[in-house]
Amino acid sequence: MEYFDLSSWHEVLQYALENQVSDIHISAEQPVFLRQYGKLKKVMEEKMLTDADLEEILSRMLSVNRIKDFEMRRGIDFSWEYKQRRFRVNAYYQRNHIALALRLMPKDIPDLIQLGCPQRLKAIAGSEHGLLLVTGKTGSGKTTTLASLLNYMNQTRVAHIITLEDPIEYIHSSQNCLIDQREFGSDFLSFSKALRSSLREDPDVLLIGEIRDQETMLTALHAAETGHFVLGSLHTQSADEAAMRIESMFPAEQQAQIRAQLAVVLTGVFSQRLLLGTSGKPVCAAEFLLTTPAIRNIIRTGKYHQLKSHILSGTSLGMQTLEMCLEELCCKNAITRDTVNACLALF
């Protein structure tokens, strides 16, 4: 059995860059696994990584202080660049050995329409204030959708945009907009504190990579109320789940107030998931809710089970249910009927 070395590591990286690999998984005493076209496969089976290999690789990615932080917390997220391509990296421990999961980010920020997003989402990007939520499970493409929205704003409006990300995955150069990107762990240490601070930095648009806690959510609602356009992501899979998740962040005695605030500021909810398309590439399927007076009333009263029927009746405004999106994708032969059935079986 041969052992891994840095030349082997560079071979893996080069292969990933040249062959549509989305993820690289490396762990001590195990072969390297790659995810290519949605499927995992082993590479270099004859070579095994040691803990020393992983430590050496990690030392080339992180500063000494961040490695100490990783060792203390037993896990860390960060971004890393290799040959002008960016990776989102999660370092963690398994069986007391270091392991790395690397996600290769697209070379260019895709257009919203290329992603399969509805035209109406572009109109929302021009909003002066409010809260837009992009939701979905981990790996569903939320970060890419938010990056595409920011890229569209950068081309079509003049604004000061501040992002709070963990980690920074897409780099935005200021075009029509001034864009300040801040990364958790290096540029700030608390989402809620950084968000409060950003309100004193003259922003027009605020992007919160992930709304994780009550304090961040409360500050985001306040920012949207006071004339800022706030974009954020949540780990929920539908519009009604998103509303319920926000309400559940708060104690019972505060929930009526939160529903009232959310009803006023919510602009829309874009809930997405990635499916394997007939081309072998991922396809985005999504539910899209836009707020209307009727929907604001539903949110205010907490009758979230009624949202689906109002999305169905709002198709002329650009709304769509997941089922509608799946049927359209199937009719275009972008996905198979089996994929549609498998997706619907989960909800």
pLDDT, one tens digit per residue, over 185-212 is: 889 999 999 999 999 999 999 999 989 8
**b/e string for 312-346 if b means 16 or more Cβ within 10 A?**
eebeeeebbbbbbbbeebbeeebbeeebbeebeee
Share the mean pLDDT of the chain.
Answer: 91
Prior bond of 167 cis (ω within 30°): yes
* Residues 131 and 189 occupy one common structural domain: yes
* Residues 340 and 280 occupy one common structural domain: yes
* Residues 162 and 268 occupy one common structural domain: yes
* Residues 83 and 190 occupy one common structural domain: no
pLDDT, one tens digit per residue, over 33-48 is: 999 877 888 887 777 7
- Per the domain annotation, does 112 fall within a domain? no
> Does the pLDDT at position 183 exceed 60?
yes
Mean predicted confidence (pLDDT) in 289-314:
95
pLDDT at 3: 55
Mean predicted confidence (pLDDT) in 1-28:
83
* Residues 191 and 325 occupy one common structural domain: yes
- Per the domain annotation, does 182 fall within a domain? yes
**How many domains would you assign to the chain?**
2
pLDDT at 334: 92
Q: Using the 8-state DSSP alphabet, how is residue 83 labeled?
A: T
- Per the domain annotation, does 113 fall within a domain? no
For residue 345, the number of C-alpha atoms closer than 13 Å in the C-beta half-sphere is 6
Question: What is the CATH classification number for the domain harbouring 202?
Answer: 3.40.50.300
Q: Is 205 exposed, middle or buried (0-12, 13-18, 19+ CB in 10 A)?
A: buried
> Does the pLDDT at position 90 exceed 90?
yes
Q: Using the 8-state DSSP alphabet, how is residue 106 labeled?
A: P
- Per the domain annotation, does 214 fall within a domain? yes
- Per the domain annotation, does 215 fall within a domain? yes
* Residues 25 and 126 occupy one common structural domain: no
* Residues 35 and 88 occupy one common structural domain: yes
Counting runs of H as helices and runs of E as strands, what totals does the chain give?
13, 15
- Per the domain annotation, does 124 fall within a domain? yes
CB 103 within 8 A of CB 23: yes
* Domain span holding position 18: 2-104
> Does the pLDDT at position 20 exceed 90?
no
> Does the pLDDT at position 1 exceed 60?
no
Mean predicted confidence (pLDDT) in 46-69:
88
Mean predicted confidence (pLDDT) in 128-155:
93
* Residues 147 and 86 occupy one common structural domain: no
CB 279 within 8 A of CB 116: no
pLDDT at 196: 93
Q: Using the 8-state DSSP alphabet, how is residue 173 labeled?
A: -
pLDDT at 28: 86
pLDDT, one tens digit per residue, over 94-106 is: 999 999 999 998 8
CB 122 within 8 A of CB 201: no
Q: With the CA atoms of 231, 248, 191 and 92 taken in that order, what torsion angle do they form, in degrees rounded to the nearest 10?
A: -110
Give me the percent of the chain exceeding a pLDDT of 90.
Answer: 70
Which of 59-63, 117-121, 180-184, 278-282 is predicted least confidently?
278-282
Helices (H), the chain: 6-18, 51-59, 64-73, 119-124, 142-156, 191-198, 214-225, 239-248, 252-265, 293-301, 307-312, 322-331, 337-344
Instruction: Give the span between the Cα atoms of 108 and 195, in whole angstroms.
Output: 28
Which of 209-223, 270-284, 299-313, 324-338 is predicted least confidently?
270-284
> Does the pLDDT at position 325 exceed 70?
yes
pLDDT at 280: 77
How many residues make up the chain in this entry? 347
Among the listed residues 282, 317, 306, the one whose alpha carbon sits nearest the alpha carbon of residue 136:
282
Last residue of a domain, one of 48, 70, 104: 104
